[in-house]
Structure 1
Amino acid sequence: MTGAEDTVRLWLVSDQWSGPALAGLLAVLDRDERLRAEAYRSAEDRRRFVIAHGAVRHIVARRLGAAPADIRWRYGPHGKPELAGPHTGAEVNLSHWEAVAMVALSPSRRVGVDVQRVLPMPRLNATAMAERYFPPEEARFVRETADPSRRAEHFARLWARKEALVKAHGGRLTQGLRIPLLDSGTGSAANPDDAWSRDYRVVDVPAPSGYRAAVALSGTEDFRVTLHRWARPDRATSRLHAQPTRYT
């Protein structure tokens, strides 16, 4: 039976923020996050950045008993954020694409989460992208799917698995894309340089319609996933799945 330390909590973050509520999320961001938000040319992209990063701070702060504005980050050699300063004791990761943001929180195991939009032709050529980035078996799996919409779905699911793995590890995306993950589970890289991938679990998780998502966790032990909805900082999150999903 898995213990509490093997439960990954995922939050889908509501996109319905504006006015004073949005200003409240902006207020808890640090200087670096505000500069990154200001760098977006689109007001909508700025708004969604503030929502996603403000939500992370509130979720982590609630877990650690801290004020959201007091959360501090340090960044790995490839840009992965990790908790720093006086408030640590958890592993956290964020993914957001357009209106969908997802936050993953693990008490002790390195965690990565990724959300991908399913983009059919002509917005994305799934076959060409798979041929360019994926191992031959996965490229063939995408290419030989007759239905174009299914090709796009297969590509998005595989990309989400790979990016979640890379984000958990803190490495380069180009390194993770070559790791075979046609079957979710541990990595099966043949290259000794990628042997680290065998020390992670990668699984698909529920996502809104038109998206695919995956979470990766360090270690090969069993774990559970609970999915919640985060809509406002002054209320407990709602549980979307009453029973946690167990991955063995």
Structure 2
Amino acid sequence: MTPVDTVDLWVIPLDRPGDETRTAPHLDCRESARADGLAPPRRGRFVVARGATREILSGYTGVEPKGLVWRVGQWGKPYVELRQDTAPVPAFNLSHCGAVAVLAVLRNGRREVGADIERVVGGRAERLVERFFHPDEARYVRGFAPAGREAEATRLWTRKEAYAKASGHRLLDVLHMPVLAPRPGRRPGRGDGTDTGAVRRLRDVPFDDGWAVSVAVMGSADFDVAPRLWPEGP
């Protein structure tokens, strides 16, 4: 039996006292300069999100957090360039919303990964679905009672965001791609992407009420999600 890939999904709180001081030394010069241009609370949240990401990836690669070198793909998706040829190169993706971030890490790096977290906010996602999404998706959302439509619309939005990040495309390029489950209540399976022959797997991840989280992995093979909380231990 072929082993199933596992995505470690790290939940990173961004507003805890002391975490900005802990993570600030991990940032490189460009990140520190960017943080200096932000006003609270955005500054602290940016520092913790970037610093925690470096700290977590350090645990996978064995490279000191500040020694990790970022490179950026065509549409701005970052990846790690390692100086040591023997170190593993994980695929990863960071998403944040308000005071929480999630970092998806796929250890073997053979497949690209994307993640998205969104808060359910009255009416916003439902309007976007009506305007930009596939007609079948708009009808699907309309089939729910008014109180549940925004949650379902937000769930569809996170699936598209996660896929865009995994595939390296702009969100605008994948809005037309259907992400409905084969049957309501079941997670999506494989489907065609924006590239000819491209396939992806999507999974909704349980989170707190009022939030939606999705993870996407490129390729036809299924995957598991292992929830993790940063920082680990006391």
- Fold-level similarity (TM above 0.5): yes
Which residue of 34, 37, 52 maps to 1:36? 34
Query: Residue 82 of structure 2 aligns with which residue?
Result: 85
Residue identity in the other structure for 2:16? W
Partners of 1:164 and 1:214 within 8 A in 2:
yes
Which residue of 24, 47, 66 maps to 2:63? 66
Query: Residue 185 of structure 2 aligns with which residue?
Result: none
1:143-182 CA-partner distances (Å, limit 9, x unpaired): 34332x3111011100100000010111111011110001
Backbone CA RMSD of aligned residues: 2.0
SS of 1:156's equivalent in the other structure is helix
The question of 1:195 aligning with 2:196 is answered yes
Q: 1:119 to 1:195 in 2, by over 3 A?
A: farther
Give me the TM-score of the superposition, normalised by structure 1: 0.83
1:158-211 CA-partner distances (Å, limit 9, x unpaired): 01000000101111110111100011222345xxx5435x42111111222211
Q: Distance in 2 between matches of 1:228 and 1:182?
A: 27
Residue identity in the other structure for 2:196? A
Q: Distance in 1 between matches of 2:38 and 2:190?
A: 36
Query: Residue 180 of structure 1 aligns with which residue?
Result: 178
Q: 1:44 to 1:139 in 2, by over 3 A?
A: same
Partners of 1:204 and 1:214 within 8 A in 2:
yes
Residue identity in the other structure for 1:130? V
1:109-133 CA-partner distances (Å, limit 9, x unpaired): 2110100111114xx2x43211222
What percentage of residue pairs aligned between the two structures are identical? 39
Which residue of 89, 107, 114 maps to 1:112? 114
Residue identity in the other structure for 1:216? A
Partners of 1:2 and 1:224 within 8 A in 2:
no
Query: Residue 101 of structure 1 aligns with which residue?
Result: 101
SS of 1:151's equivalent in the other structure is helix
Taking the TM superposition and a 5 Å limit, the aligned residue runs for 1:86-235 are 86=83, 89-107=89-107, 108=109, 109-121=111-123, 124=124, 126-147=125-146, 149-183=147-181, 184-188=188-192, 193-195=194-196, 198-231=198-231, 235=233
The question of 1:56 aligning with 2:53 is answered yes
Q: Distance in 1 between matches of 2:17 and 2:2?
A: 40
Q: Distance in 2 between matches of 1:145 and 1:209?
A: 17
Partners of 2:12 and 2:52 within 8 A in 1:
yes
SS of 2:56's equivalent in the other structure is helix
Q: 1:142 to 1:225 in 2, by over 3 A?
A: same
SS of 2:226's equivalent in the other structure is strand
Q: Distance in 1 between matches of 2:97 and 2:76?
A: 18
Q: Structure 1 residue runs of 4+, over 6 Å off?
A: none
Query: Residue 22 of structure 1 aligns with which residue?
Result: 20
Kindly tell me the number of residue pairs found equivalent between the two proteins: 223
Q: Distance in 2 between matches of 1:230 and 1:76?
A: 26
- Tell which deviates more after alignment, 180-189 or 199-208: 180-189
Q: How big is the shift at 1:50?
A: 1.1
Query: Residue 184 of structure 2 aligns with which residue?
Result: none
Q: Distance in 2 between matches of 1:140 and 1:112?
A: 26
SS of 1:231's equivalent in the other structure is coil
Q: Distance in 2 between matches of 1:96 and 1:53?
A: 11
Give me the TM-score of the superposition, normalised by structure 2: 0.87
Query: Residue 13 of structure 1 aligns with which residue?
Result: 12
